[in-house]
Amino acid sequence: MKKTTSTQLTVGLAQVAPVWLQRDATLEKVTEYVAKAAADGCRLVAFGEALVPGYPFWVERTDGARFDSAVQKSLYAHYVAQGVDIDAGDLGPVCTVAKTKKIAVYLGVMERAADRGSHSLYCSMVYIDADGRIASVHRKLMPTYEERLVWAMGDGHGLRTHKLGAFTLGGLNCWENWLPLARASLYAQGEDLHVAIWPGSRRNTSDITRFIAREGRCYVMSVSGLMRASDIPAGLPQHELLTSTADALMADGGSCLADPSGEWILEPECGKERLRIATIDLSKVLEERQNLDVAGHYSRPDVTRLSVDRRRQATAEFSD
């Protein structure tokens, strides 16, 4: 195992496909990759958006906007049933391997949120620290386009950063990486390693990864999933419809890593299910912030400032 200095961090980008719409089987696959990343010297490993139990690829392919459709109802009911209930301990296996192997994890899940009634799904980015504790759950602020047919809108509660060695980590889901104020909320908390998670597409990662790196003068990991027609397991509701409308490749990956100057450390890679590893050094962040630090010497808080509400949204408050 390569020895790193105190300013370095070895990270893993796990570009994998889910066992689509099957929570427990997908979580088993996740734990295997977490253990593999730790064995390869990583102190952080990240997975794609909505990986557990999978992205809702059926919506745009099966007339997903048709109101009161029996087909859409059956698929949604299965999706919710396979969602991740964090309060119930569904992420326990991942937390256990993170604690055992002393590795931190960013994981994209479809959260079945008990605090919002348990029947709606939130696209959540979960950070599990190296002690196996769930340190933050960021619910995607605004689902994109057809995602709004199956996902609820999140809140600012998870707009948080975390210390890992010399680095300060933060992250966002998919297209909310395009939101300037969401990015600014993380920069303001000292973020120098940004983790962007995606369902899987090079067209999403190839430009924005380097742009965020140059804007924030930070490292940026874009971690994507894969999804192939062959990943649709038998036994799902509407299985014949799902397989007949699926493309051979619905998510091609495109995971990549850029340094704080915007140059590639790992260029986008498509079509392969694999763990990619790199070691990054905080000294590069310090060098690049000599001429631009958007939350520091190049900011003007006396002119423009950001207000962030990090309270968890709730539909009721009870006083007993």
Catalytic residue among 123, 174, 218, 270: 174
Nearest to 312 by CA among 85, 136, 157: 157
- 140 among known catalytic residues: yes
DSSP H helices in 269-313: 282-288
Find where tokens 């998870």 sit.
Answer: 158
Per DSSP, which regions of 71-130 are E strands?
A: 104-112, 121-128
Beta-carbon neighbour count of residue 105 at 10 Å? 30
Catalytic residue among 29, 101, 140, 284: 140
Distance between CA atoms of 18 and 52, rounded to whole angstroms? 7
Distance between CA atoms of 312 and 136, rounded to whole angstroms? 12
- 102 among known catalytic residues: no
Distance between CA atoms of 221 and 135, rounded to whole angstroms? 19
- 49 among known catalytic residues: yes
Distance between CA atoms of 269 and 209, rounded to whole angstroms? 13
Nearest to 159 by CA among 178, 142, 184, 134: 184
Helices (H) and strands (E) in the chain, counts: 7, 13
Active site residue ranges: 49, 140, 174
